[in-house]
Amino acid sequence: MNGKILKYLEDYSLKISVDLFAESTVGNTSKDYLESGGKKIPKYINEFWTSRQRQASRIHEISYRACFKAQLPRFFINLLTEEGDIVYDPFSGRGTTPIEAGLLDRNIISNDINPLSEILTKPRLFIPDFKEIGKRLIEIPLKNGNKADIDLSMFYHTDTEAEIVSIREYLKGRKENGAEDEIDAWIRMVVTNRLTGHSKGFFSVYTLPPNQATTPERQKKINEKRNQVPEYRDTRQIILRKSRSLLRGLTLNQVKSLRKAGEKGLFLTKDARETDEIKPDTVTLTVTSPPFLDIVQYAHDNWLRCWFNNIDPEEISRRITVTRKLEEWTYIMRRVFEELFRITKKGGWVAFEVGELRKGKIKLEEYVVPLGVDAGFKCECIIINQQDFTKTSNIWGINNNDIGTNTNRIVLFQKV
């Protein structure tokens, strides 16, 4: 096993002179074992990365349900790859892994069967000039009185709705004419992220956090309970403020690194079991988190984002794996691991993040270990990163220690 990662997992207690960690003391790693297939798989337990450690780049600050922090892929990218290596995520979501890999001068492959993933990911690899964003926003005609083709009155002031619909029509026309450029794509990405939320930094009246759009019926009840009506929000100003926030702190070298990764990168919208576009034996590291058992309804959460981007949410529902049956989930993931083994180069790695589900009764790592081994990988260890609740988890009324995912649980495989 890679000597560097053994050092971190077995001897980790800080202070370590690496930018992954803050200058604070963390207790020694505890070690346990999982019995699987007649072998003892070591489990290392500690706070290996948390929000208290090195703050991630602001370019990551795009909301998406069930996404992991940027510190997670950075941990494995730094330890297990070199500049120029290919880093892959077959379930890319908001694009945390490919963007972090780009910042670290790695080559990238990004895949997600949900087309919203590419909409949210690719523009942040091709960073536009801030002044050009403002100039383009002025050029977009905002038509007074524009109405959506669905009732959105419970979310938006009539003038705000008119602006959103105007931007939607503009972007749709640009895409259909083959004229959509990097600035348009950036604006599309930001608008997609600003549609609903719980502060004045979003287009909507106060609603649920931006990683989930509530139904119109529920929003009416929220408005009634809070005695609120949608007030006007200046969409251009909100887009500019969010753009400035995403770009804050990015260096010229980082912008160049992201663009280089984007230009050489491969962006797929495929079933993770069928990625023929990826050549065999080429990927050095996969860092990913697959859809879990019946935890997140991606299409339901993103219905309003789908509307803005002219995507059929029901089509996404049919394509994305969300199942209550563990047998179905493991059957699908078995094929995913077979595909990962095909594309991983000898000596390459897979860091497969799973959760603890149903009040701790299901620990998916116990099912994932044999799937990877059967595909041909060697299971090196299980890494359990303990962490406190997130603010979002508390908003949902979910105590992660009791119901949801209370830890990052990563099964680490190598192709030997």
Pairing type for strands 362-363 and 378-386 reads unpaired
Identify the three-state secondary structure at position 66: coil
Identify the three-state secondary structure at position 87: strand
C-alpha to C-alpha distance for 80 and 88, rounded to whole angstroms: 13
Residues 61, 194: contact at Cβ < 8 Å?
no
Q: Which residues of the chain have pLDDT under 50?
A: 12-26, 51-53, 389-405
Could you say which of 3.50.50.60, 1.10.3720.10, 3.40.50.150, 3.40.50.2300 is the CATH number of the domain covering 3-115+251-414? 3.40.50.150
Task: Give me 195's structure tokens.
Answer: 């549609």
Domain extents for the chain? 3-115+251-414, 130-246
Residues 281, 344: contact at Cβ < 8 Å?
yes
Quick: pLDDT tens for 303-336.
999 999 999 887 777 777 666 788 888 999 999 9
Pairing type for strands 344-354 and 356-357 reads unpaired
- Residue length, the chain? 416
Quick: pLDDT tens for 330-361.
999 999 999 999 999 999 999 999 866 655 67
Q: Residue for token digits 């008119």?
A: 162
Residues 343, 283: contact at Cβ < 8 Å?
yes
C-alpha to C-alpha distance for 147 and 412, rounded to whole angstroms: 50
Phi, psi of 74 (to 5 degrees): -60, -40
Give the CA radius of gyration of the chain.
22
C-alpha to C-alpha distance for 284 and 348, rounded to whole angstroms: 4
pLDDT of 111: 98
Task: Give me 177's structure tokens.
Answer: 């004419």
DSSP conformation letters of 165-197: HHHHHHHHHHHHTT---HHHHHHHHHHHHHSSB
Identify the three-state secondary structure at position 35: strand
The residues, any chain, with a CB within 8 Å of residue 255's CB and separated by 6 or more, are 127
C-alpha to C-alpha distance for 229 and 241, rounded to whole angstroms: 23
Other Cβ atoms less than 10 A from the Cβ of 7: the count is 12
pLDDT of 199: 93
Identify the three-state secondary structure at position 12: coil
pLDDT of 20: 31
C-alpha to C-alpha distance for 81 and 66, rounded to whole angstroms: 25
DSSP conformation letters of 49-75: S-TTSSPPPGGG----TTPPPTHHHHH
pLDDT of 264: 97
DSSP conformation letters of 253-301: HHHHHHHHHHHH-EEE-S-TT--TTSPTT-EEEEEE----SSS--HHHH
